Structure formats: C-alpha cells, structure tokens
Amino acid sequence: MRVAVTGGGGFLGSHLCEALLRRGDAVVCLDDLSTGRPENIAHLRKYPAFQFIHADVSVVADVPGQLDAVAHLASPASPPDYLRMPLQTLAVGSRGTENALELARRTGARFLLASTSEVYGDPLVHPQEESYWGNVNPIGPRSVYDEAKRYAEAVSFAYHRTHGVDVGIVRIFNTYGPRMRPNDGRVVSSFIAQALGGEPLTIYGDGKQTRSFCYVSDLVRGLVAMLDSSETGPVNLGNPEEWTVSDLADLVLGITGSDSEVQYHPLPVDDPVRRRPDIGRAGAHLGWHPEVPVELGVRRTVEWFRGRTCDDVTGES
C-alpha cells in the first residue's frame, strides 16, 4: 500500500511509519514537527519508499498521487503539550481531521483515526467499553484535547455516512516505549528520566489512581491490523492490565536501580482516577491483544533511555 501518516514524526507515528516500511509499504509522512522530532524518522530516510512532507495538516494536507490509506495521528498528545498549545490542538483535531478526511475522500483511501481513551474523560464505567459515551468536562483545561478527539470521531463518522469514506477509529490507551520525549509529561517517560537523572519521581495525587500501559510495538500491531481491516470501530487498543501509579514508580525504581525519592503533588484538574480498556472488540474483530508484559516493556524503554545523552535524559536540551 501507499500510506500517508499525519504526525509521522512523533513517538507513535514514527513507529507506525517504520512498521509499514518494513513490510513493504510506501509511506508519506506529514508533520510540522511541533511535537515530533526529526531524529525519530532520520533512520527511515534510507528507505526509497519513504517521503517526508513538512506540513501543518490543520492548514493543508496535500499528498500528490494515489493513496491506499491515510492514518491520522497528528496531534499533541501529552498534557504539557496540549496545555501549551490549546488552540493548535483544537485546530488539528478539527480542521486537521477534516483535511485528512478530504485527502482520503479524494483518493478513495481508507481513513484511520487515532483517537484516544481521553474521550471517556474521568470514567464512571470501569473498565471502559466502546459503547460508553464518557464523562468529559467540556470547558476544563484538558478539554482542548478530549473534545478535539471527540469532534474528530464525530466528523469521521459524518464523512463515512455522507461521502462513504472507509473509516476506522481506534481509541488508544496509555502507550510507552522508545522515542518518547523525557519531558513530555507522560508518566512512564517522566519516571524513567527522573530515576536515571537522580531526580525525585513526581506522583500527582495519592498514587492510587490506575492506568493501563501498552508497549509501542503491541499498539502499532493494532494500528496496522485496523488499517488492513474493514472495521469501522471505534475499537479500544490498550493493555487491560491495571497498574497504580505508585506500583509503576516502584517498578521503574527497581529496574533502574535508582535511589530517587518519591514526591507527591496535587492531582491536576479532571485527571482520571481509573483507566482500563475493555479490548474484547479488538480481539473479536482484529484478532489483536497485547503481548509484551509491562515489566519487559519498561525494561526495554529504560535501556533505550540509557542510550541517550545525559541532556537527552534530563530533558535539558
């Protein structure tokens, strides 16, 4: 296939580009590098089938030639990023999604939307099934990301019903692995960077809140399976194993051998207390389930961070 990947320079997008290239697909990566990094895709430039276009898809998403699929991953995805760029986050979730959908409509391509578990907000249903409509504060600080993704889902289905665009929506739960930015505010990368840098591990709240952590290779397998299917979704992709934030901190300290202390801070506004996906639909319709245990995935991620420079790990550069 020939696939356009918006946000292909980011953590998750670069892994998707790599997986598609390795199986023989041609990839066009679109990214304005506002949160993505050139080094994430530097090794992909050796592939003749890889093309990079520097573009803000909320302004324009134009790819010459025919496409078989458009994977729309462009968006700030970590709280510090979308709180720093609230209007840009809303723009890429709305106009950016519309532009990517138009690209898919013009070329007859399948459209994959990378949505998020954040559409469930601070859920009142546990675990979260795709039929749950969510508990989202539409005017809270996190709403710029939550509501952008909820709108992206709505406009995707509108294009599907109105124009017959072949749409597939996945809702991604916490994902981690190599190429995460150490200062992106996500808990796995933050804990690892802090532990390796000898800094205190910062826990927000009492540490009893839970998350599910999916290793990036597992998540990408799910994205590729969704691209190859005719499933509309939405489909949850995530690891249903539930971890408290405190237990994750203990795991990171044990793997790194760090003697960093743990510091507690107030819980941010509207931060979810419990988060765990029901992945029954992913298993039934995509034959997908995660395979990498959290302990192994965190160990691999720690090894990757150890290979960075000191400034890279502490986030000072």
| Catalytically annotated residues | 145
Q: What is the DSSP letter of 129?
A: P
Where is 226: in which H helix or E strand? helix 216-228
State CA 80 to chain mean position distance: 14
Give the total residue count for the chain. Answer: 317
* Rounded-to-integer distance, Cα 8 and Cα 18, Å: 9
